[in-house]
Amino acid sequence: MAGVSSCMKYLMFIFNFLFWLCGSIILGVSIWIRVSKDAQQKLDIDSSFFAGVDLLIAVGSIIMILGFLGCCGAIRESGCMLLLFFIGLLLILILQVTGGILGAVYRSKIETAFDETVQENVKLLQGSTQESKEFQENFQKFQQMNHCCGLLKGPADWGTNFNNNKICECELKDPSADVCTYYQGRYIYKKTCGDVIVKYLKDHLLIVMGIAFGLAVIEIVGLGFSMSLYCQIQRK
């Protein structure tokens, strides 16, 4: 009977140890951000970002579990653990591919949902409730950081609130520069923040696609290693 390849076994172990280490880092940093008030203040994170942090905690936990199964399965030559690792990684790959396909198919609906979200945020810019004021305060920081004003229609998105607290005021040394415009007696930023957000998403789409493709390649390599090692163990 053929034995188990030592080279493949240790390559599988190293691959999954790095996989487990990445999961540990993601999980540790995510938990630190979630529970540490100091971390939230330093990174300027508010409660609206907690859903994303919780998602990272779940992702880190899954990666750690899969990495542990792969490491132990390779070193102990456990067919059961390797099979569980293979199934888990295959499910992740299927979900990843499915998400990409659904994203392409329902792209128009995603854009519609984005537009609806923007419309709701415009209402917050014009509101006077405590929730609206908190959103406005954070959005003003975003405007100054990105040299933009409003979401869809510029200063008109602020409604009557535009006259308060120097909203959208151009703070550049040369306010007559191309990024600013004269409006109601003062210089404000010309471009809308909606355009900034869309440009950011488009510019980073290629990066996201590259990361997704790279992860898919790594996942396929992991699937190949685990199944090959599993077959060798079964034949031993």
d(CA 103, CA 108): 9
> How is residue 177 written in tokens?
């520069």
- pLDDT for res 171: 74
Confidence (pLDDT) at 47: 57
Identify the residue with better confidence: 109 or 13: 13
Which residue's entry shows tokens 């540990």?
24
Three-class DSSP labels, 33-55: HHHCHHHHHHCCCCHHHHHHHHH
Query: Do residues 100 and 212 touch, judged by C-beta distance below 8 A?
Result: yes
151 phi, psi to nearest 5 deg: -110, -45
Our measurement of the distance from residue 163's CA atom to the centroid of its chain's CA atoms, rounded to an integer in Å, reads 35
Tell me the C-alpha to C-alpha distance, in Å, between residue 150 and each of 31, 79, 173.
Answer: 34, 58, 21
153 or 178, which is more confident?
153
pLDDT recorded at residue 1: 41
Residue 5 Cα to chain centre, angstroms: 38
> For residue range 73-87, what is the model confidence (pLDDT) as tens digits?
888 888 888 899 999
162: which residues sit within 8 A by CB, 6+ positions away?
155, 156, 168, 184
Confidence of residue 111 (pLDDT cuts 50, 70, 90): low
In the predicted structure, residue 215 carries a pLDDT above the cut 60: yes
- Are the beta carbons of 26 and 62 closer than 8 angstroms? no
Q: What is the pLDDT of residues 24-40, one digit of tens each?
A: 888 888 888 788 777 66
For residue 46, is pLDDT > 60? no
Q: Where are the domains of the chain?
A: 6-107+225-235, 109-195
- pLDDT, average across residues 201-217: 74
